[in-house]
Amino acid sequence: MDADGLRSRTRAFLEAHPPATTDRLDFLRARFDAGLAWVHYPVGLGGLDAPRSLQAVVDAELEAAGAPDNDPRRIGIGLGMAAPTILGFGSEEQRQRLLRPLWTGEEVWCQLFSEPGAGSDLAALATRAVRDGDDWVVDGQKVWTSSAHLARWAILIARTDPDLPKHRGITYFVCDMTDPGVEVRPLRQITGEAEFNEVFLTGVRIPDSRRLGEIGEGWRVAQTTLMNERVAIGGGRVPREGGMIGLVSETWRDRPELRTHDLHQRLLRLWVDVEAARLAGERLGQQLAVGQPGPEGSAMKLAFARLNQEISALEVELLGEEGLLYDDWTLRRPELVDFTGREAGYRFLRAKGNSIEGGTSEVLLNIIAERVLGLPPEPRTDKDVPWKDLPR
């Protein structure tokens, strides 16, 4: 299908489902069923087997018609991480059951990967899954889980064979967050809020039918999730001077009394860095349109974290005492992170997490060095040692 055919198809859909008179959820469900959710997905799973680049044609027509979206920021983990993993490794039954309510936002997803004792070294995870007939019994603890307090489903990796080296013997599951034994506790952050959680899994029974990929292939499946996660975090398309650099630039123009020569030089450098990152993101988007995400997404996520932290620090310094104001230290449970609609003090504090979430900056530097630049890998003496023999 070409762009003209897809444009005509979208207009016909809008005629049959006028946004002004169609219930929002009914509209989103119908859009998925019409193949206009992810045009590059298979027919019957929200797509039309069309080139990924044509999604922009659909989105433009729908936006012009005032059509509702699926609130992508709220369900970003499902859209950016769970969906491509389910598509790549899920059974047909799993795809049919999970993808539609994921895309419409009826079911929120979270990610049960990180653990207190296996932060940057995800492959060292200790959460166990033991086979019991047609079920797996899972015990362990996960941490830094965004949206766990809202989620119905989670993507989960657990150790199923401690006799194998750490990267092997891991299996990937879909966990129902409403099942007995799943306990979600808030983690209070430096911002005073608790968008993150720690999750305790005690005797949680997961049917083998909710396994993604083969037993022991969880690390390979997780790579699909992680590559898509880094693109989702760092590769979002923004307009020129959009995002946080736009806020600082606007303050600079409106408040000449705050300006100094040093701050001017720093703002100019950051503006250029942001623009270079934006153009690199456009290029990454073009690569995604013709294939799957690769390690280049790690570079975008790395740049995203550094720029957010440097820009927010500049903004606080520019505003002086005013930049320290932060009006709400109560324990709130937000549904999404809002970098642009809050105070400068909030942005400065929240940006500190950008170099941890979605892969630490140190890990991303290793990925870029080895998989993009082709440099020799760091020595790893534990790759062939059974997990049970590793010091902890």
Q: Phi, psi at residue 113, to the nearest 5°?
A: -115, -65
The span from the CA of 54 to the CA of 58, in Å, is: 7
CB 97 within 8 A of CB 45: no
CB 105 within 8 A of CB 71: yes
Is 282 assigned a catalytic role?
no
Catalytic residue among 115, 193, 198, 229: 229
CB 95 within 8 A of CB 61: no
Q: Which two tokens stand for residue 385?
A: 């040692």
For 59, residues 6+ apart whose C-beta sits below 8 A from its C-beta are none
CB 46 within 8 A of CB 99: yes
3-state class of 248 per DSSP?
helix
Running DSSP on this structure, what letter comes out for residue 186? Answer: E
Q: In Å, what is the CA distance from 184 to each residue of 110, 171, 180, 196, 259? A: 12, 22, 12, 10, 46
Active site residues: 229
